[in-house]
Structure 1
Amino acid sequence: MTKAEKTKAYIIEKTAPIFNKKGFAGTSLNDMTAATGLTKGSIYGNFANKDEVALAVFDYNLKKLTDIINSDLSQQKGARNKLLVYAEQYEKFLNPPFTEGGCPVLNTAVEADDTHAGLRTKATEAILSWKKTIVKIIEQGIKDKEFKSDTNAEQIAFTMIAMIEGSMMIAKLLDNKQYVTMVLQSMKKMIQSID
C-alpha cells in the first residue's frame, strides 16, 4: 500500500463513525480534521470533495458489517440456521464490533433518499444485495427440501430486512435496545415457522 493509499484509508477509518452518526449533511470539514488530526489540505489532497469521502465511508461501514455477517454465515449448515444468523447478529448490532451510530444502510437511506443521489444509490445497492443473499439462502433451502417449493423467498427476504431495519430505527429513536431484541425474537419465530 502506498503512502497516499494509507492516508486515504486512515481518513476513511477515522471519519467513518462521524459520517454514520451525523450523516452527510451533519459532518463538517472541521469534524473530519478533528477526527484525523490532518489539515483540510491533506484531506482534500486525497479526496476531491466531501461527497467522495462520504461514498468511501459508506463502503467502509458496509464492508465492516457484511464481513461480520458473512463470517457467521459461512460457519452455519442449513438455510434456517443461516437465516437465524441475521437475528442473532443484529441483536448485538448496537454494541461493538459493529459500526458506531447504528446501521449504515438505514442511516444513509433515511438521510439520502431525497438529498444525495450518490449515497441513495449506494444504500439501494446495499439493500438489493442483502435481499439477493437472503433469497439465495432460501432457494438453497428449497433445493435441499428444508423449505417447501412454494416458499416466497423475496417476500421473506424483504420482511426480514424490514424487521431488522425497523427495529434499529425504533431502538435508536426511543433509546432502548430492548426493542431490537423484541422485534428480532419475532423474526426468529417467523424463520422457525418457514416450512
Structure 2
Amino acid sequence: MSKADKTKEYIIERTASIFNTKGYAGTSLNDMTEVTGLTKGSIYGNFKNKDDVAVEAFKYNFGVMSSLFSSEMAKKKTCREKLLVYPYLLGNFSETRFPEGGCPVLNTAVESDDTHPLLRQQTILAFTKWKNGIINLLKDGIAANEFHPDIHLEQVSLTMLAMLEGGIMIRKLTNNQKYIDNIISSLQDYINSL
C-alpha cells in the first residue's frame, strides 16, 4: 500500500466516527483536521472535497457494522440463530463493536434523504445489500426446513429491518431499557414465528 493510500485510509478511519456522530452537515473541516491531526491541505490532497470523505466514511462505518453482524452470525449454526443475532446485538448495543454514533444506515438515511444525493445513493446501496442478505438467510432457512416455505421474503426482511432500525433509534433517543426489552422481545418472537 502506498503512502498516499495509507494516508487516505487513516483519514477515513479517523473521520468515520465524527461523520456517524455529528452527521454530514454537522461535521466541519475543523473537526476533520482535529481528529486526524492533519492539515486541510493534507485532507483535500487525498479527497476531492468533504462529500468524498463523507461517502468513504459511510462505507467504512457500514463495513464495520456488517463485519460485526457477520462475525456474530459465523458463531451460529442455523439460519434462525443467525437472524436472532439482530435482537441480540440490539440488546447488547453498548457492549458491541458497533460504530460510534450508532447505525450508519439509520443516521445517514435520515440526514441525506433530502439534502445529499450522493450519500443517499450510498445509503440505498447499503440498505439494499443488508435487505438482500437477510433474504438470502431466509431462503437458506427455507431450504433447510427452518422457516415456513410460504413466507414473503422481502416483507419479512423489511419488517425485521424496520424493527431493528426503529429499536436503535428508540434506544438512542430514550435509553429506556423497558422499551428496548420490549422491542427485542418482539423481534425475537417475529423471527421465531417464521
CA distance in 2, matches of 1:96, 1:46: 31
User: Contact 2:23 / 2:107 at 8 angstroms: preserved in 1?
Assistant: yes
User: Contact 2:19 / 2:54 at 8 angstroms: preserved in 1?
Assistant: yes
Q: CA RMSD in A?
A: 1.3
Q: 1:88 to 1:123 in 2, by over 3 A?
A: same
* Runs of 4+ with deviation above 3 angstroms: 175-181
Structure 1 position 106 matched with structure 2 position 101: no
Deviations 1:112-151 (A, max 9, x none): 0000011101111111111111111111111111122111
Report the AA paired with residue 124 of structure 1. Answer: I
Q: 1:116 to 1:182 in 2, by over 3 A?
A: same
Write out aligned runs for 1:1-195 (5 A): 1-176=1-176, 179-194=179-194
User: Contact 1:163 / 1:183 at 8 angstroms: preserved in 2?
Assistant: yes
Q: Which runs of 5+ in 2 are unaligned?
A: none
Distance apart, 1:156 and its partner CA = 1.1
Deviations 1:52-91 (A, max 9, x none): 0000000100000101111122222121111101111232
The TM-score, its normalising length taken from structure 1, stands at 0.94
Distance apart, 1:178 and its partner CA = 5.1
Q: 1:121 to 1:28 in 2, by over 3 A?
A: same
Equivalent residue of 1:45, what SS? helix
Equivalent residue of 2:188, what SS? helix
Q: Which runs of 5+ in 1 are unaligned?
A: none
User: Contact 1:164 / 1:180 at 8 angstroms: preserved in 2?
Assistant: no
User: Contact 1:94 / 1:177 at 8 angstroms: preserved in 2?
Assistant: no
The TM-score, its normalising length taken from structure 2, stands at 0.95
Report the AA paired with residue 116 of structure 1. Answer: H
Q: 1:102 to 1:94 in 2, by over 3 A?
A: farther
Distance apart, 1:96 and its partner CA = 4.3
Q: 1:175 to 1:147 in 2, by over 3 A?
A: closer
CA distance in 2, matches of 1:77, 1:154: 23
Percent identical among aligned pairs is 52
CA distance in 1, matches of 2:33, 2:176: 32
